[in-house]
Structure 1
Amino acid sequence: MNPGLWLVPIIGALIGWFTNYLAVKMIFRPQKPVVIPVLGLAIQGVLPKRKAEIARSLGEVVARELVDFDDVAAQVSDRLEKEDLINLLAGQANEAVVRSLPHIVPEPVKMIAGSLVGKIVQHQGYDLLMQFTGQAMEEMKKSVDIALLVEDKINQMDWEQLERLVLEVASRELKHIEILGGVLGFLIGLAQMAVAYLFN
């Protein structure tokens, strides 16, 4: 076998790796359209070119699939230290009643009234708390547009921020794509070498 034939898979691996390396880089760059003089063809990175469209799609996916206000309400409800919070509210209600009653009201009457209100809050506190949480979440559901929030946040990012964010999440996968290009190029080169050897 001609030793020079081994150059075929090696060159194939280099071409495959470089092609995928270039493809990965062109996800982010060039940030602005660059015109190739001879061809008159404008090239631009995928993210810069379609940033607004990607931002809108991501916003819709997050709002539809990831953020459910009912789940958020359930999480808030589960994480609230309900007993401590109700005791705190009852104590504050008691103090507020005592402070707000006029000076003409005897102190013992103030204390009784404050204690009574505190006990009512303590007794009804859980239901009131759940009702308040539910109402707050309903208002949030009506007034907060998650899709628009995500879309605006992505659109406000500059290119470097966006590139850094994507690389933090997918740098390993992108590196695997580059390596896979080299492996496939090498295998194709081996196949070409085998064909050349068989037909020589």
Structure 2
Amino acid sequence: MNVDIHEILADVQANWILYLSMPFVAATIGYFTKIVAIRMMFKPLEFVGKPPLFGWQGIVPRRAATMASIACDLMMERLLKPEDVFNKLDPHRVAEEIRDPLIRSVEDITREVAAEYQPGLWESSPESVKRLVIQRIQKEAPHMVELIMEDIKNNIDRVFDLKDMVVNALVRDKELLNRVFLEAGHVEFKFIARSGIYFGFIIGCLQAVAWALTHNIWVMPLFGLFTGWFTDWLALKMIFNPKQPVRYLGLFEWQGLFLRRRKQVSARYGELVASEIVTPAAVIEAILKGPLSDRLFGLVQKQVQRTMDEQAGLAKPLVVFAVGSTKYQEMKRSVSEKVMQYLPETLSHMEAYAEEAMDLKTLLVGKMQELSEEEFEGLLRPAFQQDEWILITVGALLGFLVGELQVHVMLHFAVHV
């Protein structure tokens, strides 16, 4: 191909606005495709359009169960185990924290059960006798709570499913799942958007040279496609690679941006998990209402029955005779059920102490500092790995369409110059 440098210079001089605009248009393409790609990762929370093909749901919300499971697997494998949640709780301190509401609930439970199983005897008893019975059970109640707490700590894997709690919380609240990734990687997402400008501008300079040499109508859309694809691909690579700092050309050093920020990420991630996911309230609810709650009921029932039998003491045969053996067993089970009903409200009074004692944020941050580069990358990488090719493809197609529009604008401009 013969290149007439004078013709090229004359064309550039005549259409300098067009040539000058190419890097800026390419930078705009790079930035715009990144913004669209990031938004498509997280929005909308629910499918919009006509399923299954015509429409879109954010990649993270669409794969909420998978995303949450991956995040939880890493969390449980290296960061947090069920025993970590309870080992720092002192059963005696727990009993002290809930003593007042516990005493109130014990009185209510005693009156309800007594009125149900021995209505005549209970109603006819003097108030002083009723109060003596209630006070005797109330006195023993804190010790029973300590024993239940010890049972929970010794059987934590049988009564508390940490993974189920975390996954359900994130699947149920897709906005929270988005925040886990967005807040952990907010600097990286800004970098992706800004990188589109820088890389796009450089590619736009090359595009201007290619257009000057060829005036081929395919230059614009193909360079637009390349800008959308390459800038997406390169930005993702620069976030996670290289794992260790590497000096390039002896001029500058680079380490994957996410890995370089592990201290800041650890602090925010630990705070988010401790304050919004693995909270004392959520843990209590998971134990009382989760998939393993039946086993907790078994522990509570064992301690309630032990306490009732001890309190009955020498009078137990008379109590059994008065209500009947079958009814006595039913009564003990009824007490256990009512204790379980009252537990959520009663245990809510220990949340402040539990948060202070567990100190999950400090625990998580410390353990995150011990993660290898590959494990640390796993905190954010799942958000990109799932359907990553779709994001890059969309970026490329958007770049192609903008490039095609750019051709028509240039040809229109050339005709009227």
Question: With structure 2 as the length reference, what TM-score do the two structures score?
Answer: 0.37
Pair 1:76–1:137, CA change in 2 (3 A): farther
Give the match for residue 233 of structure 2: 21
Distance 1:187 1:84 in 2: 64
Check conservation: 1:12, 1:188, Cα contact below 8 A: yes
SS state of the match for residue 247, structure 2?
Answer: strand
What secondary structure sits across from 1:5 in the alignment? Answer: coil
Where does residue 275 of structure 2 map in the other structure? 64
* Contact kept? 1:24, 1:174, Cα under 8 Å: no
Q: Whole-Å Cα distance in 1 between the matches of residues 385 and 303 of structure 2?
A: 49
Instruction: Please state if 1:167 is matched with 2:381.
Output: yes
User: Does 1 or 2 have the higher relative contact order (CA < 8 Å, sep 6+)?
Assistant: 1
Of 135-144 and 20-29, deviating more is 135-144
2:269 and 2:335 mapped to 1: Cα distance? 42
- % of aligned pairs identical? 22
Query: Of 224, 227, 242, which aligns to 1:30?
Result: 242
The answer on whether the counterparts of 1:30 and 1:44 sit within 8 Å (CA) in structure 2 is yes
Matches within 5 A, 1:53-92: 53-79=264-290, 80-81=293-294, 84-92=298-306
**Contact 1:77–1:133 under 8 Å retained in 2:** no
RMSD over aligned CA atoms reads: 3.9
Distance 2:275 2:304 in 1: 39
Structure 1 residue 95: Cα displacement: 8.6
1:28-68 Cα distance to aligned partner (Å, 9 max, x none) = 01122222326x22222111110111111111122233333
Which residue of 155, 179, 183 maps to 2:393?
A: 179
Q: Deviation at 1:22?
A: 0.5
Separation in 1, partners of 2:253, 2:354: 44
Gaps of 5+ in 2: 1-213, 321-327
CA offset at residue 139 of structure 1?
4.5
TM-score (norm 1): 0.68
Q: Paired residues, what number?
A: 186
The equivalent of 1:154 in structure 2 is 368
1:23 Cα deviation from its structure 2 partner:
0.2
Q: By how many angstroms is 1:184 displaced? A: 3.0
Residues 21 and 178 in structure 1, CA contact (< 8 A), matched pair in contact too? yes
**Where do 1:139-150 residues align within 5 Å?**
139-150=353-364
CA distance in 1, matches of 2:239, 2:282: 35
